[in-house]
Amino acid sequence: MKFVSDSTMSLSRDQKLNLFSTDRKGLERLVSDLGWSNYRARQILRWIYHRRIQDLDLMTDLSKSFRKQLGEIAEARLPQIIGKEISTDGTTKWLTRVANGNSVEMVLIPDSGRYTLCVSSQIGCMLDCSFCSTGKQGFNGNLEASEIIGQVYLAEQELSKEGKSITNVVLMGMGEPLLNFDSVVLATNMMMDDLGFGLSKRRITVSTAGYVPGIYKLAETTDVSLAISLHAPNDALRDVLVPINRKYPIAELLKACRHYLKQVSDKRALTIEYTMLRGVNDKLEQAVELSEILKDLRCKINLIPFNPFPGSGYERSEEKTIRKFQDFLVGRGYATLKRTTRGEDISAACGQLIGAVDDRTNRQERYLSGLKSSELQQLNLP
């Protein structure tokens, strides 16, 4: 069983296994390894996720001897909320303490009856997209599954006080989800599991900057919804905006996307994210190019007005430019939405999440420790 992700922040030896860092299958395996019947795992999950009880001693339908035996090696440990900001538009951002004194941000976006939680998957990000402030903070490791599902758990706990519930989860916070694959899959499994949050696969979106091997692996592993941060209609520009493109150019990325859609084999479309940068990627001829490259891909397009941050060097496209770009794509038959900017006053909008990444020095070393060697070789980053 895999309780601890391949992160740089393995638990110290004296810490117990975290029941939040696994899914139903993993827990069933643990329980049967301890010599008990499978259904104990389901009982535990019900206590944790449905009744919101984390203390094994309070799980009264489990025998005392089982509780004692399990309690010696495992516990349900949540990350801790250490800060909260509410935007004038109702968007809420929480700062959550994770391992090694770092913290990450999650954002709840209420929108006409829907409550979308944007969760982080890594502490910072190593991909360094040129217009994203998360990347500028550097990278300090992967989140564990408990720290990813923990964000959903904590936000749901807060929201339930108002009688509301999370309806959608997007892995669009800090980090590149596909570079923290195992933990992201464990966490999304619990988001979908009836004994977890019971969200449909259509309501859980993993967003990637284009780590192509991760897309193929995801296709074999799960069927959550997928969003691609494309941002440019050709390699010359994408190489600059999204540097991972130098390793996995657009043609390869779109091939992987088509494969993913074929594997999930329902009628779902992929989401293409395109941040609108004034004078950089917002010209009409670029909309033409975009409509050409996406021709045989079942997708909808989200245009994201650029969210500025100090020293970014970019500006947001003008409203009328975005509208023209959108109208053109709609005219070509693409469902194209302009994403409303939310939570800008509290720096909770796309690409503005920075958390508190403890140690920003020596990034190269951190890349090395945060990745499996096979992934590193494939990435071939500077």
Q: Which chain residues interact with ligand SAH by CB under 6 A?
A: 129, 131-132, 172, 176, 207-209, 229, 273, 275, 304, 306-307, 350-351
Residue 147 or 273 having the CB closest to ligand SAH: 273
**Residue 108: CB atoms within 10 Å:** 25
Catalytic annotation, pick one of 252, 315, 350, 365: 350
Nearer to ligand SAH, 17 or 95 (CB): 95
State the Cα–Cα distance between residues 179 and 7, nearest whole angstrom. Answer: 10
75 or 344: CB nearest ligand SAH: 344
Question: Nearest to ligand SAH by Cβ — which residue?
Answer: 351
Residue with Cβ nearer ligand SAH (28 or 176)? 176
Q: Which is nearer to ligand SAH, 98 or 230 (CB)?
A: 230
Closest to 139 (Cα-Cα) out of 171, 178, 177, 175: 175
Contact (CB, 8 A) for 369 and 141:
yes
Is 344 a residue of the active site?
A: no
Q: Smallest distance, Å, CB 350 to ligand SAH?
A: 3
Asked if 9 and 144 touch (Cβ cutoff 8 Å), the reply is yes
Smallest gap from Cβ 42 to ligand SAH, in A, equals: 32
Q: Give min distance, CB of 88 to ligand SAH, in A.
A: 19
105 is catalytic: yes
CB of 207 to ligand SAH, least distance (A): 4
Spot the catalytic one: 28, 105, 144, 176: 105
**Least distance in Å: CB of 107 to ligand SAH?**
11
Contact, 17 vs 30, CB < 8 A? yes
Catalytic residue ranges: 105, 350
